[in-house]
Chain A
Amino acid sequence: MARAKIVLCVLIALASFGLAQAQPSDLLIYNVWVRPTAPTPKADATPEAPIPGTVTGGYLTIQNTGSGDYHLVGVKDDFAEMSQLHQTTIDSKGVARMQAIDALDIPSGQTVTLADNGYHVMLMNVAHDLYANQAVALTLTFSDSSGSSFDLPVGALVSANPPPADPLLIANAVAQADASDKSALDVSLILDNTGTQGDTLTGAAADFAKAVALMHFSQSGAAPFDSIYVPPQSETVLTPDTAFVLLTGLSQPLPEAFVLTLDFQSGKKLIVAVPVQKAVS
């Protein structure tokens, strides 16, 4: 039993180390999108294989709210054979050039956008075509000022255009197996309301989940509730130990990422791509 306790402590230490790294509080990542590689096939059509060598670009915004600098040093995913960070420039004669870069600096207090005509994630030789309104999962690798590196999972929405600008940003969305019901998923995310108006989250939907509920966690356990107010000029953090979005009745197999629609009292609907975290084994 004593040995079991030691093992437990070591495991907890390892787990907490991993979690601390997986959830750094300094970085907010939002508006992650990837261009489609083909038009969406008609409902009754069998999707064709992508043309060999098909490439596309991924874009996102990273906000460093911490006091230390970070560097985006890599991108991993399951659908592209090779993924790199690229920088594009246009010179005074209108000539576009593209080059791979090793790292993109995310200085303390800064917001860096990988956007059209700047930086992008180059996704090469995709294994399957990406269609508008799908979600895909990317893993971003960052290094911090001490030189240690960590991974952050993000969901990317497949879209021909950047997401429409909205003062309410949905950052760091991620789904993981519910602690008490392994067939359900808990979605954590940060609602970063940069606007001057508050709004209220009243519901959510995802097409692979039969039921989507807003849950509130208290001492007596998790219970459903109707809405959550998102005050202006503030971050509202949803996590499985406070309030979160619970997805049940899931179609199997689970997707690598899915599109979550959030409904607000103002009538606004915001969508976010949510990566599904593989169960820790």
Chain B
Amino acid sequence: MTAQAKNTRNLLIGMLVCGVLLIGIFATISLRQSLSQAQATPTPTDAPSGVVAIDPPKTLTDFTLPGIDGKPLQFSSLRGKYTMMFFGYTHCPDFCPITLTKWQSVKQALGSDASSVNFLFISVDGERDMPPVMAKYLSNFDPSFLGMTGDDATLAKIGTDYGLYYDLHKEEGANYSVDHTTQEYLVNPQGQLVVEFDFYTDAGVIAQTIQSVIHGPSE
């Protein structure tokens, strides 16, 4: 070993020893510190139960949009089953995956009734959410979830049925965010809107509501 290499090695050893000692000192200080449990977490706990029955059921405008296979999917072709609906977009980091994850739990909680329910995610951001994007995104949650790529004209035609609002913030550039309503809708097998859920409604409440609509209220 050359003298220089030896010096370098000694330097490194020195640094390591010092480093280890310093980590020890800081760790000890940290160990001694008492903890405070104050919470500054934003929580939606004061939200209302969030289930609104639509009575009488509201007849919905029919429409056709590309499905996740790229072929036209007509809304009325989903009749015969109940349909849970949500309007969102795939570049959505929060509300959309939360809702779709919730739908996984809803489907599970429905048990055998799940076969009577479609789950439909409609994108309000059709330019980015082309059918292959929708297909991959939805496969992340459940292969049975249906998707539609929305366009402004169609969404304008049907939006008032749902109180749909959305705004694409294209001024933000390619990764623009989208403001959008976060309600979920239950449509009956006749294609009528029967229940609206707000974002905070949990999976168990949604599943119970769907089952009471299918089978009539228990008790």
Contacts and interface: CB of A to CB of B under 8 A. Distances in A.
**Bound pair (A, B):** yes
Interface of A: 4, 7-8, 11-12, 15-16, 19-20, 23-26, 35-39, 51, 53, 55-57, 63, 65-66, 82, 86, 88, 90, 93-99, 107, 109-113, 115-120, 122-125, 160-161, 179, 188, 190, 192, 194, 235-237, 239-242
A117 to B, nearest CB: 6
Contact of A111 (B40, B93, B199): B40
Contact of A117 (B22, B24, B38, B98): B98
Contacts, number: 171
Contact of B41 (A25, A111, A179): A111
B54 interface: no
Interface in B1-56: 7, 10-11, 14-16, 18-24, 26-31, 33-44
Contacts of A65: 30, 33-36
A contacts with B: majority SS: mixed
Given A8-B11, A53-B91, 5 more contacts: A20-B22, A25-B26, A95-B180, A111-B39, A160-B140
A193 to B, nearest CB: 11
Nearest to A186: B20
26 contacts: A20-B26, A23-B26, A25-B26, A25-B29, A39-B139, A55-B175, A56-B93, A57-B93, A57-B94, A57-B97, A88-B94, A88-B95, A95-B179, A96-B95, A96-B181, A109-B36, A111-B37, A111-B38, A111-B41, A118-B42, A160-B97, A235-B30, A237-B28, A237-B30, A239-B23, A241-B21
A38 B136 contact: yes
Contacts of A119: 42
B140 A39 contact: yes
A178 B10 CA distance: 17
A237 B27 contact: yes
A97 B98 CA distance: 15
A115 B21 CA distance: 36
A279 to B, nearest CB: 11
B39 A35 contact: no
B137 to A, nearest CB: 8
Interface of B: 7, 10-11, 14-16, 18-24, 26-31, 33-44, 91-95, 97-98, 101, 128, 132-133, 136, 139-141, 163, 165, 174-175, 177, 179-183, 198-199
Given A51-B132, A110-B38, A35 B23 contact: no
B199 A94 contact: yes
A37 B136 CA distance: 9
A90 B165 CA distance: 12
A240 B98 contact: no
Q: Which of A36, A38, A94, A125 has the most CB of B within 10 A?
A: A94
A72 B179 CA distance: 25
Contacts of B198: 94
A96 B14 CA distance: 55
Given A7-B11, A115-B41, A120-B93, A19 B22 contact: yes
A124 B7 CA distance: 46
A216 B201 CA distance: 49
Top-7 shortest CB links A-B:
A57-B93, A25-B30, A109-B36, A118-B42, A241-B24, A113-B41, A98-B177
Contacts of A35: 93, 97
A147 B132 CA distance: 46
A192 to B, nearest CB: 8
